[in-house]
Structure formats: structure tokens, C-alpha cells
Structure 1
């Protein structure tokens, strides 16, 4: 084969790869990220499922009382602390088991439970309308505008959780500070950017001033000092909540953008909450928010004829678990929830109940529904990503 012919083949391969990027790149990036997480922990890192632990033992191992360590002894924790600074040492998900964690977790549950379901729906609808009005006002007549879904959603959820915490509408200054800090965390988590601590420090300073002025939530964790309480608010509500809800909404809207038939069905019967709930469940199953969750074993855990030794770092791979158990498990099909019992599907979008489940697990799905419906009332969604 001549050099010219090889050149044409290389060019064709490059064009084919570029044209198919939307289809293969996300999976490749996720797989690489999971691999990096496993390598970070060296010999102590155990992928679940993986060579040593089958998918059938995933939930049992995750639920074991000895799979309870969060930070000490895991190199991966150092990486998360870098991503979540400032204040990762008091972030709810990285506190070790004990009275401090119990107090923080109880406070978070109480804060989220203060609003009734109808109050949550009203709050999210108001904040969504405000941000969508802002988006429409920024559009130039006759010109299309490219937006990043996550960047549109972050101000929305920043406003929502500010009002949840402080009990008053979110000022523009606070919304912008929260959204900028959350976006910085999300980009660092995705390994697409280094952190920019100045953005996060500005939010820390704002929250410190708010608490000093007496504008405190009804309850803060008593086990934390004043500086730690500021970090608790920033990490729990204005980082994790805003990042996760923004990513979840973006995943949901992108899934709908790729499926015009689902959009049509939702518009034809806007009161059909069952269909929207199935779409949300399927989005969280096929595109889980948690890539890998890690736990450090505090004691040996029996497994088959052997044991997982104390001090091991268990790397629970959510996509691998969700996409197992059925030949079409990786296929997006909301109507599978009409055919299959939920217990038959491998689906733990908010973690395991016995091991620090997401505190917003009762709040997230219904508020996602409200946000998505607000967008669908105004826009027809489309994507070239397939």
C-alpha cells in the first residue's frame, strides 16, 4: 500500500473518530476515571465489581457495617479533599463515623425536612422561572445561543438551596458566588480543570459574614465550631447539593433531548407524573451521578472462602453495577419500569440505606420533576450527541 493510500486511510479514520466522538468519548472518559481512582489507592484499592468481588456481592459488601471508613487510610480521600476544599475535613461525606458525623447528618436531614413537598415544588418552580426568564432576556433576537446545561442549572439550584438554608430569596450576588464555586468544584471533579481557590474563598467569606450578621439557619451542627459551620454550609448545600442537582438536571434534559418521542409524550399529558418519574429513574440508572464511591474497611469482611482485609479501600462502581443484570441494562428505556419490578433492577442512585445514603434521596426526584417540566414548557430540546 502506498504512502498516499495510508494517508487517506488515516484521514478517514480521523474523520470517523471525530464524527463518533459524542457516542464513545463519554464512556471512555468515565472508564479512564474509574481506572485512575483504582490506581490512586495502589494495592489497597479493590474495584467492586471487579476481579475479587463479583457484582452479586456489591450490595452485601456495601451494606456491611465494617465498610464504614470515609477518609483515613485512602489516597483517594486526599484527592477528594483537594476537590472539596475548603473545609473537606467537616464535609458530611468525609467525616468518620461518630458523634460529629451523627450530629451533622441529623442537622442536614432536619434542614431538608423543614419544607413540605408542595413548598419544595413551589420553590423550585419559582427559581426555575426566574433563571429561564434571565436566559431568555440574554438571547439576541434572531440568533441562536449556545448554552451549557450545567451552567444554566447551577444558578437555579444555588437559588433553591440558599432559600432552603436561609429562608429568604437568594440575592444575585450570592447566586453568582455559589454557582461559580460549584462550577469550579464540578470541573475539578471531572478532571477538566484545576481548582481556583479564589472563587471558593469568596463564597466562604460571604457565608462567614452572613452568619456573623445573625442570618443563621434555624439549626447548625452543635458539634462544629463557628468556622467549621461555615464550611459545613458551603460543602453540604452550596457545593454537593448544587453540583449534584445541576448534574442530575443536565443528565435528565440531555436524555430527553436525544428522545423527541419522550418529549412529545410528556407534553401531550403534562399531568402524567408517572412517565416523568420513570424517565427520572431511568436517567439516574443509566447515567448515575456517582461514578465511584469509596469506603475503607474498619475490620475484615468475610467474602466467599476468604476475606476483605481491614484497611482495604472499596471502590464501588455505580455504572458497572447499574448496567449489569440484564442484556439490555445499558439501554435507556423508561418503560422497563412498567415491565420489571424495581427490586429486579440494579438501581441504587442514592446509595445504600445501610451506609450513608444521600440525605436528599426523598427530595431530589420530585424537585427534578418540577425543574424539568419548567424547561419543557418553554423549550423543545435537541442534541447532536445521540
Structure 2
């Protein structure tokens, strides 16, 4: 690969204002045609229900279905026939995901704000959750685990999985096996915006859910944004991305491996390294080019690096952290001599990997952390998927007789000041219980 294999190369400080803006702005404005077609699909599902889903399976997936639900026997058979090595790895991943997310379970709280006045908050598991699992070019059984296992740990009443059917009318065998292993309750052979609409609004066969989680293509992402009037979603999601901060202790080859691991996901993936010193930056850039030339998914990698790849030098680590905060990456790898010392400087990102041995691949599959993460700079406002996403909170309060009498006049005064006179009367009625 040539020197122009990377979109940006050189000192961070030398980036033009426009180039810096392009690196930071990864929102990828929603394609108007995608948004319009998605709206049509959603309305079609709301109007025609299962009939629309069966028709769209023929149109979009070239699959002829007689029913949208996959019998449990088919996904249990997929698990039974799974390669033993893959099954062992999935079982290990599921155990770690369960352990990590069980430690995140929230607890009820109560506080007496003044004598006789108690305010409490109680976490209640959601009744039903939908997990979307991509199909086609991107089949990720690991993502099924990331959605189903935390939901089951949280105590969600029912967890359903939707994934596109192949020509045989079934989702990918790996997805079916993962659904069985993770403990899903129902599986549907549904893909794209139609699956999202079915989960959001319900059909004759597909039950309406309380929250939809999981990655998907542009139509899935657009559909999730368009159904938020009816259902909660995890977070808007886009192509994969990584930001590596490396000092002289880092191995350029290891940094290059991490960049390629994200670049192979998607031609629109964004892969950036900030290296302390021009010598390290050049070593990393050269290693990236060598690795890209021999990558199995060479065309995808080359496009991602050419359009959104960067290896930039900084004078010191202090120069790197403001850019990290502005960039808000999905994955941040801190490949420095003392990565733990820098953790407190990080606020805006999906997940942090401390040290080059903490490969993003380990987090994607096996550590137990969740790999469903905010992208496109949304780490400023969103967190990665966790067990907390599968609860809603019930707030309650108790007021005893004496406290009601003490509250009455002040509440009445505030209500009067806002012109809510019935509120004032309701409060003052307890002045002399």
C-alpha cells in the first residue's frame, strides 16, 4: 500500500480546521432515501402486520416463509450441531458476560428527606425486550450474547431475538445457536426495518417489546430512531471505530493489529492513532500499511483506512487527551507505559482498554464487558449497553400525619404562586389532620 493508504498522516497540530472537523464529525447524516424507505416499511408493518413481514422476507431476503417464528427445536438443533470449539468459546463468553453484568445490578434506595417524609426508588426489570441480530454480510453470534445474557441477568420477563432469514428461511445457524445458549425465549426470522417495526408496535405473531437493543445496518439504525415514540432503544449506532493513544513503550505492530481489527468491520469504520513522537507515528503507519496489504478482508480494510484512517503524532500525552475527549471514540486503547494512570483523564468513550495486551478483540468477545457501544462521538452522552438498560425505575414516597401538617403551608404557598389553586387546597387540607 502507498503513502496515501491513510486519509490523515502527520502531526495532529498540523491538521487543518476542516480535516479536524471531518475526523470529529462522524455523525454521518442520515441518508434521506434510507429514512424515507424506512418510514414506508414501518407503516407497512403497522398496517398489514404478519402479511407485510412475510412479503418483505420474499422481497428483501429472498426467503419464502410460512411463519415468522422459528421453532425452538430449530435453534436447539443449531446449538447441538455447533462446532465444539465455537460452542466452548461462546459458553465461556456467556459466563463472563453474566458475571460482569450481575455485578452491575442496581439496588432499591430510600431516604428520609425530613422527619416523616420518605422517598424511595426501586428498579423493576422490563417486561419484554427485543434483541436484533444482523444477518447477511455481518453475522455476529457474540452480539446475541451481549443482548440476551444481560437482559436475563436483569430478570426481564421475556427476551425475543429477531434476525434475517437466509434462503432456507432460517436465521444464520450461529445466531440460532447463540440464542439457545443465551436463554432467549423466542426467535423470529425477521430482518431490517421490518423487524424493528414489528418489535416496536407488535403484529399478530410478534409481541410488542419495551426496549430494542442490538446492532444493525443503516435501515435498522434509521428504524430504531423512527420508533422511539413507542419503544426505548439502546443508542443510535454507526460504523465501528477505534482511537489508540500510544507512547514509546508501544509495539507498532500491536497498534496496527488493533486498527485493522476495527477497519475490517465496515468500509465506513474510523481508525485513528495518536502516537507520541513522529518516529513512533511513522512506525505505526508503516505497520498498518504492511498489515493491510495482507488482510483477508483487504478491500473493506483498504476503504476504511483510505476514507477514515489516521496516524497522527503528538508532542506529548498531554496533547492527546483533549482530542480524545472531543473524539469520544467507541473503543479507546491506551497503549502507554502506565495506562492506569491515564484512566481518570477519560470521560467520553464507549469503553477503555488499558495497555496493548488488553486487545479490543478480547472485549468484543470474552472479557464479559458489553460490546454494544456508542459510536460517532455519542460517547459524550451515551454509555455502552449494560444491565441497567433492562430496568425501569419506580419512585415512591410516604408522608406521615405530622409531616403532612408541616408540609401543608409551604406547599400551598408554592402552588398559589404558580396559579395551581387546587394543588394548594389539596395540601392545606392536611394542615390540621
Instruction: Pick 1 or 2: higher relative contact order, CA cutoff 8 A, min separation 6.
Output: 1
Higher strand share: 2
TM-score by shorter chain over 0.5? no
Higher gyration radius (CA): 2
TM range (shorter): under 0.3
Q: When the two structures are superposed, what TM-score results if normalisation uses the length of structure 2?
A: 0.22
Q: When the two structures are superposed, what TM-score results if normalisation uses the length of structure 1?
A: 0.24
